[in-house]
């Protein structure tokens, strides 16, 4: 770990000073499992957010974009699982606004100081009587130590909650970063600042203005959540929100050494959560890192990496520990990137698979052993330039099909 920061044991979104949270069962899920979370800042918090680039953006995303445009601070976040409030028209937007009003009433803040998120089934209106009672219960359950409960309440098909925190030593004092995320299916985010689902909430007690928060979050999301893909499907609800309430009194200024340290800690935190999401991918049995090296430019490297990572034939081969590299070169070939196939080299971990566009001669039994591991890497050397890119992905298993075939039934 970096000498300036370290992960906290049992860290969560309530690890930073001045933040409360709750996670309760409102009754949205037939199972009776927790399905509503709330985050509350004791004082107005500066913020930034990144949202899905999907044209069919959900009502909470549309409302969130409005908050980014018109609000300087927030006080509370409400997240419900079990219903995405997506493709729900004017009624859905009205219900999103109503959620903010209900939370504002129960927290004694203004509706404009509340932002919401929803995750779950698309195209179904929110049961507002359940939502109303849930918000009241969540508000009354707020506590400085309930970050873990909040993380559990936002899960859908996740098998484990995902939350963590880091303590950061800066020149003028200590600050803390906490975060929670969910999402193990319908995951291929392309989130922009400010524009089954990927949701992430980040809290810090540092003093940071909104402009710097936007810079931090934009770069960190691009190097974490936008680098993962589970099934190649982008959600209508993807959201990442960062709150800074300044409770520590430690200010971070743009261009300072402290800003550099803080950003690195933030990126590390989000990469840890992004990794956990892929490891918990729906039915996933393999964690795969795709490295593209020596591409002609960054855009080409990204396209090549994502073409391999999202190939169903590649993903099913990984599930079966089949070292069929023909599927990888095919994915590269149809990616749309212009390159010389006779210059391409491919490795599984440190074992040569393809040399100059042809079979490297490594025995398949050796390659199959690599693919039997829980984690392995695929490195593609394009020998076309100096650009590189990486992506984290996983396999597609029988269980993934079962989960998604039965999601509504």
Active-site residue set: 197
Task: Give me 7's structure tokens.
Answer: 């992960």
What is the phi/psi pair of residue 157, to 5°?
-95, 5
E strand or H helix at 348, and its extent?
A: strand 345-348
E strand or H helix at 116, and its extent?
A: strand 114-121
10 Å Cβ neighbour count for 342?
Answer: 9
10 Å Cβ neighbour count for 365?
Answer: 8
Residue with tokens 């707020």: 142
Burial category of 282 from C-beta neighbours within 10 Å (exposed 0-12, middle 13-18, buried 19 and up): buried
Task: Give me 245's structure tokens.
Answer: 């309430």
10 Å Cβ neighbour count for 334?
Answer: 10
What is the phi/psi pair of residue 268, to 5°?
-60, -45
E strand or H helix at 305, and its extent?
A: helix 298-309
Whether the link from the prior residue into 194 is cis, omega within 30° of 0, is yes
The three-state (H, E, C) secondary structure of 145-175, written as one string: CCHHHHHHHCCCCCCCCEEEEEEEEECCEEE
d(CA 389, CA 291): 6
Task: Give me 352's structure tokens.
Answer: 């040569």
């Amino acid at each position: 770990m970096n000498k300036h920061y370290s992960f906290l044991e049992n860290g969560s979104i309530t690890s930073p000073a001045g933040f409360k949270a709750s996670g309760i069962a409102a009754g949205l899920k037939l199972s009776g499992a927790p399905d509503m979370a709330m985050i509350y800042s004791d004082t107005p918090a500066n913020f930034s957010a990144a949202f899905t680039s999907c044209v069919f953006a959900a009502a909470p995303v549309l409302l969130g974009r409005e908050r980014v445009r018109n609000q300087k601070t927030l006080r509370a976040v409400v997240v419900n699982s079990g219903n995405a409030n997506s493709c729900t028209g004017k009624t859905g937007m009205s219900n999103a606004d109503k959620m903010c009003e209900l939370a504002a009433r129960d927290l004694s803040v203004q509706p404009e100081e509340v932002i919401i998120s929803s995750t779950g089934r698309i195209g179904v209106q929110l049961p507002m009587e359940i939502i109303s009672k849930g918000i009241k219960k969540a508000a009354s359950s707020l506590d400085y130590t309930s970050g873990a409960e909040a993380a559990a309440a936002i899960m859908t098909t996740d098998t484990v909650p995902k939350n963590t925190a880091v303590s950061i030593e800066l020149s003028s004092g200590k600050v803390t970063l906490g975060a929670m995320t969910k999402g193990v299916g319908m995951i291929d985010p392309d989130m922009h600042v400010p524009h089954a689902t990927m949701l992430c909430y980040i809290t810090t007690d540092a003093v940071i203005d909104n402009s710097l928060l936007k810079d931090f979050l934009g770069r960190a999301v691009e190097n974490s959540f936008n680098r993962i893909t589970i099934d190649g499907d982008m959600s209508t609800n993807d959201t990442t929100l960062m709150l800074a309430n300044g409770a520590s009194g430690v200010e971070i200024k743009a261009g300072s050494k402290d800003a550099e340290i803080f950003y690195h800690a933030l990126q590390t935190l989000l990469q840890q959560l992004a990794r956990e999401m892929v490891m918990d991918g729906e039915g996933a049995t393999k964690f795969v890192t795709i490295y593209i090296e020596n591409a002609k430019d960054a855009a080409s490297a990204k396209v090549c990496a994502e073409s391999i990572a999202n190939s169903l034939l590649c993903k099913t081969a990984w599930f079966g520990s089949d070292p069929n590299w023909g599927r990888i070169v095919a994915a590269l070939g149809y990616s749309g990137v212009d390159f010389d196939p006779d210059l391409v080299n491919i490795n599984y971990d440190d074992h040569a698979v393809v040399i100059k566009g042809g079979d490297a001669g490594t025995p398949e039994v050796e390659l199959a052993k690599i693919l039997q591991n829980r984690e392995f890497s695929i490195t593609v050397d394009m020998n076309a330039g100096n650009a590189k890119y990486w992506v984290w992905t996983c396999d597609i298993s029988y269980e993934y099909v079962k989960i998604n075939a039965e999601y509504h039934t």
